[in-house]
Amino acid sequence: MNEQLQPLKKQPRTGKSSRSGTQDDVVYAHIFDAILEQRLAPGTKLSEEALGEIFGVSRTIIRRALSRLAHEGVVLLRPNRGAVVASPSVDEARQIFYARRMVERAITELAVEHATAEQLAELRQMVTDEQTSFSRGDRGAGIRLSGEFHLKLAEAAKNAPLISFQRSLVSQTSLIIAQYESGSRSHCSYDEHNQLIDAIEARDTAKAVSLMMHHMDHIDSKLNLDEDSASDDLHAVFSHLLQTKKKSGRSTSRSV
């Protein structure tokens, strides 16, 4: 017997993508984070019915969120067949990484020029949180924080178009890594991130750009055709939300 799911409530920002705003903002943020954390596998069918049940909202809300994700290139909307998580081909992956390199270079150069002491402190805290996540075995959170580091760096560059472009590229890169990463999947990006912050703080453009390109080389070197570890089961990916709602429902029932 299925329990009646209640609509998602607006939540304060907790380090992940913003969970405040309209209902489609909340749904968008949850799906974006699931992609960034590589919990949603490339090619996963995003059933409007299943997502509506999971999030307790109408299909109209789900469609709005999926449309935004499609605009960013991480969801593919197929006429009469529904939406799926994007599954970049090898050629598309190469193009995305080429674009990512160009954008990262520009962002790094601008960050050296514009990053404030407060922004550098925020970046350092993100690196600490990233390292803590990997240390405790929370790979998904570590991957998300690694991606959010690059989004925060884009903010420090103070160029709005680059921020928007970077958001799309970071999420697409996460899909590519989920689809093609090989080897032990060890992550030491926090060391490279710390070195990059040091170079930016020293206002050393040449060193900062060199470190960023080395960082991108490191990511690129681990890519190959291989199985992914993400899931195509929507209910499994968002099980933490369903469990919270079930617990809430039981508490309400007992108090009546």
Tell me if 23-85 shares its fold with 90-222.
no
Here the tokens at position 112 are 């050296």
- Give the whole-angstrom CA distance, residue 129 versus residue 45: 32
pLDDT tens across 121-161, in order? 999 999 999 999 989 999 888 888 999 999 999 999 999 99
Domain boundaries, given as residue ranges, for the chain: 23-85, 90-222
DSSP string of 113-128? HH--HHHHHHHHHHHH
CATH, range 23-85 = 1.10.10.10
C-beta separation of 237 from 34 below 8 A: yes
| CA–CA distance, 200 with 182 (Å, rounded to integer) | 31
pTM of the model: 0.74
| Helical (H) or strand (E) element with 82 | strand 82-85
pLDDT of 100 > 80? The answer is yes
Taking the C-alpha atoms of residue 223 and residue 208, their distance in angstroms, rounded to an integer, is 24
Q: pLDDT for 195-224, tens place per residue?
A: 999 999 999 999 999 999 999 998 888 887
From residue 225, alpha-carbon distances to 36, 39, 137, 238 in Å are: 19, 18, 24, 27
Is the pLDDT at 2 greater than 60, yes or no?
Answer: no
Give per-residue pLDDT as tens, 59-99. 999 999 999 999 999 999 999 899 999 999 988 999 999 99
Rg, C-alpha atoms of the chain = 19
CATH architecture of 90-222: Up-down Bundle (1.20)
Q: Please choose, from the candidates 36, 8, 12, the residue with its C-alpha nearest in 3D space to the C-alpha of residue 24.
A: 8
48-63 burial code (b ≥16 CB/10 A, e <16): beebbbbbbbeeebbb
- The DSSP line for 215-236 is HHHHHHHTB-S-----B--HHH
Please write the tens of the pLDDT for every residue from 153-198: 999 999 999 999 999 999 999 888 888 887 555 555 778 999 999 9
- For residue 97, the model assigns a pLDDT of 92
